[in-house]
Structure 1
Amino acid sequence: MSLSKLDVAKRYSKALYEILESDNNVDAARDDLNAIKDVLLADPELEVALSGVSLDNSQKESLLNPLIDAVSSQYVKNLITMLFEYHRINDLGAVIDEFNNLYNEKHGIVKAEAITAIPLSDTERDNLATAFGKRINAKQVELSTKTNPDIIGGVILRSSDVVFDGSIRTKIEQVKRLLLK
């Protein structure tokens, strides 16, 4: 029975996080991992080439070595090498994502998206992030913003599986439903 990409990512990221935490190197390794993620996002064909069958192992290693050499954390180097040797290099992006999820969970960091009818100023965005963080007991909220004029006004906040809908459009819909009963 083979493991799903998510199962592999969770196992490897948890193991990596635990060893880095015991060695007090989580932040430096996280920087390395995010730099690798940036490279993978900038060149999606790299992951395909490393995990595909069109190149032989020596060609794949020549692509992978500069990536490994750019990393300062020996643990991250070992992770990349191990994923490559176990033919799981295509799981590297998922491992990095799960590592970041674990990091955020342990440090009280929440990612959220705010949808508004008009763009928010930096001050408004910061105030919204602070207020949302207090409401959900998060130490830090990483808030991205998006505009959608269809909501008329107010704000919709999405974080993980939770949605706080304070839009005018939703309020109007609620009033309509009450009037039509």
Structure 2
Amino acid sequence: MSQSSNLSTVARPYAQAAFEVASESSQFDAWSKLLGGLSALVRDPAGAALVRHPAIAPADLAEAILEALKGADEAGSNFIRLLAERRRLVAAAQIAEQYEALRDEAEGRINVEARTAHALDDKAAAALRDSLAKRLGRSVELKVQEDEGLIGGVVLRAGDLVIDGSVKGQLDRLATAMSH
């Protein structure tokens, strides 16, 4: 099992717990901010070294993080202390990512990444977003990246769903079909 998938497995119950607390207290934004800040801190090389340092006591580590993040309420502070005590701060980025996925689902939102061969103007991006929202039955947060290697068309990714409508994808599928 890779380090990333292992951390994702470790993160799942913590993300679920954070989501439940946020849901019960209607504090989705506050928890997004807390987990996003914690994730950024742990992704920073100095922060990553700090959370992995075996000589730092979990309680001291938690207090240093709480001081750096400022503004965590009692539940958020306890959450960070728990992560420090259980040496799970290394999974903070995955916890934040999974929390946001749970929040998006609860709020009927989906993030879609679109790679296009050519830049989309605002009107085309809005039309694509509206079409996807109808098809997926959710509001769509669309992030568009230009990728000239696609030759033409678009590749859409929404979670595990991938729709490859690119010319490159069609050529690759044709080449695979011809080689069999």
Shorter-chain TM-score: what band?
A: 0.7 to 0.9
* SS in structure 2 at match of 1:113: strand
Matched positions, count: 174
Output the TM-score relative to the length of structure 1: 0.79
Q: Secondary structure at the match of 2:155?
A: strand
Query: CA-atom RMSD, angstroms?
Result: 2.8
Distance 2:123 2:40 in 1: 28
- For residues 6 and 168 of structure 1, the distance between their equivalents in structure 2, rounded to whole angstroms, comes to 34
Q: Provide the residue aligned with 2:51 in structure 1.
A: 50
Answer yes or no: is the 8 Å Cα contact 2:114–2:154 preserved in 1.
Answer: yes
Shift in alpha-carbon separation, 1:165–1:65, aligned structure 2, 3 A:
closer
**Is the contact between residue 35 and residue 92 of structure 2 (CA under 8 Å) also seen in structure 1?**
no
- Write the letter of the residue equivalent to 2:51: L
5+ residue gaps, structure 2: 1-5
In 2: Cα distance, 1:22 partner to 1:102 partner: 14
Residue aligning to 1:77: 77
Decide whether aligned partners of structure 1 residues 136 and 175 sit closer, same or farther in structure 2, where only a CA change above 3 A counts.
same
**8 Å contact kept, 2:42–2:90:** no
Counterpart of 1:98 in structure 2 is: 98
1:25 aligns with 2:24: no
Partners of 2:34 and 2:78 lie apart in 1 by 13
Contact 1:111–1:141 under 8 Å retained in 2: yes
Aligned equivalent of 1:12, options 8, 11, 14: 14
How far residue 172 of structure 1 moved from its aligned partner, in angstroms, is 5.5
> Which range moves more in the overlay, 23-32 or 75-84?
23-32
Structure 1 segments, 4+ long, off by >3 Å, are 38-41, 58-63, 168-181
1:18 and 1:113, CA in 2 relative to 1: closer, same or farther beyond 3 A?
A: same
Q: Distance in 2 between matches of 1:96 and 1:77?
A: 15
State the 1:48 CA deviation.
2.6
Q: Per the alignment, in what secondary structure is the counterpart of residue 153 of structure 1? A: coil
Q: 1:75 offset after TM fit, Å?
A: 1.6
Q: Aligned in 2, Cα 1:27/1:56: closer, same or farther, shift over 3 Å?
A: closer
1:115 alignment partner, SS class: strand
Q: Which residue of 2 aligns with 1:35?
A: 37
CA distance in 1 between partners of 2:62 and 2:173 (Å)? 59
Unaligned runs of 5+ in 1: none
Larger Cα-atom Rg: 1
Q: Which amino acid aligns with 1:50?
A: V
> 2:110 is matched with which residue?
110
1:119-138 map, 5 Å = 119-138=119-138
Q: What's the CA shift for 1:128?
A: 1.2
